[in-house]
């Protein structure tokens, strides 16, 4: 009787062919405009965007400038730091997204009101406007939709209702004036969300050394970083981490070549990933692939914060996503490349 290979053993046997095939497909998609971006201007709020190819590489640079309503950005910035959005006026969006910490908390799992453990690592808010979906499980399609969860969840910002928040802001004459100058209907739930989301879209970080390299500045990164980038591609990391965000545009199962969760132990609901959204068994342990932009600043890593360092994260990805043990020398070179993904915010290096 002919031996029948299991899917896992088949995948193990033909892993290199599989990765090369995916890489080829992604490169083809890039050529067909999946990763086309305009060099000088990008408007995330437009339904149609005129884009031009900057490079033939699977990674594209972040645009140097994006077009946003400056008045909404300023109002959104104030609201992003406004503790009145929480039930007891003690927390703001910035409580979990600290700009001095890469737009994160640098905690394994985020802390909500009164120290409530939120079970997942807080993703960076930088460049979040370019994500295909929001949250690790992708449950929000837009930044506007994403805003509902932290504000309305008791464990995060106390579970205020939007009517309560609107009432609070209407008691502040400065907010009333600011909203009336921008929005015809003044302070409303949708306008609050729009202003915050517009500000979040302004949190883009262009001019990373690697972006300068992609635009033709050969000396923008070191020889070691270039070697690290080539390894990043040859190992297959770029299969999932590509495009402008070096990730952030697809879902993937965590644990293709091993059971990460069984090895780690203490599996909780958050570990089910997108399954919690779809109830589809195929989505069990599936997560949005995170962006690697500014990755050197956003430790710890993974949805559970289990990887404390970049070194650990790379090795875990090699083991569970690629089925290889990456030698330390290669890990070090890949880290050299990842460090070059740190960009600038408002003209200053992060």
If residue 170 lies in a helix (H) or strand (E), which one and from where to where?
helix 162-170
If residue 10 lies in a helix (H) or strand (E), which one and from where to where?
helix 7-13
Whether 57 is catalytic is no
Distance of CA 236 to the CA centre of its chain: 19
Of 303, 288, 293, the C-alpha closest to 250 is 288
* Dihedral of alpha carbons 115, 120, 124, 127, sign: negative
Cα 225 to Cα 109, 193, 262, 338, 339, distances in angstroms? 30, 40, 34, 8, 8
Q: Provide the 8-state DSSP code for 286.
A: E
Active-site option among 156, 217, 218, 346:
156
- C-beta of residue 340 within 8 angstroms of C-beta of residue 246: no
Cα 217 to Cα 38, 208, 213, 223, 249, distances in angstroms? 18, 11, 5, 13, 27
Residues recognised as catalytic: 156
């Amino acid at each position: 009787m002919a031996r029948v290979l299991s899917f896992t053993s088949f995948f193990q046997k033909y892993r290199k062919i599989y990765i090369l095939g995916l890489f080829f497909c992604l490169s083809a998609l890039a050529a067909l405009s999946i990763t086309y971006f305009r060099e000088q201007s990008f408007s995330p709020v437009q339904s149609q965007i005129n884009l031009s190819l900057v490079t033939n590489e699977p990674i594209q640079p972040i645009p140097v400038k994006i077009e946003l309503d400056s008045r909404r950005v300023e109002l959104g910035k104030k609201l992003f730091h406004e503790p009145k959005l929480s039930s007891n006026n003690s927390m703001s969006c910035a409580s979990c997204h600290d700009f001095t910490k890469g737009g994160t908390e640098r905690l394994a799992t985020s802390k909500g009101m009164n120290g409530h453990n939120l079970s997942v690592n807080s993703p960076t808010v930088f460049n979040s406007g370019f994500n295909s979906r929001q949250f690790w499980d992708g449950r929000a399609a837009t930044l506007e939709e994403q805003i509902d969860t932290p504000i309305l969840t008791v464990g995060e910002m106390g579970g205020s209702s939007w009517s309560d928040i609107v009432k609070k802001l209407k008691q502040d004459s400065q907010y009333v004036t600011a909203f009336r100058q921008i929005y015809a209907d003044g302070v409303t739930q949708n306008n609050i969300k729009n202003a915050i989301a517009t500000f979040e879209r302004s949190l883009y970080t262009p001019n990373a050394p690697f972006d300068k390299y992609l635009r033709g500045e050969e000396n923008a990164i070191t020889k070691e970083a270039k070697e690290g980038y080539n390894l990043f591609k040859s190992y297959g990391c770029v299969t999932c981490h590509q495009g402008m965000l070096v990730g952030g545009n697809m879902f993937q199962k965590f644990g293709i070549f091993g059971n990460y969760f069984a090895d780690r132990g203490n599996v909780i609901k958050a570990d089910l990933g997108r399954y919690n959204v779809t109830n589809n068994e195929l989505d069990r342990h599936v997560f949005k692939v995170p962006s690697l932009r500014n990755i050197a600043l956003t430790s710890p890593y993974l949805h559970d914060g289990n990887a404390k360092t970049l070194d650990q994260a790379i090795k875990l990805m090699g083991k569970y996503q690629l089925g290889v043990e990456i030698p330390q020398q290669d890990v070090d070179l890949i880290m050299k490349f990842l460090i070059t993904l740190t960009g600038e915010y408002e003209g200053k290096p992060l």
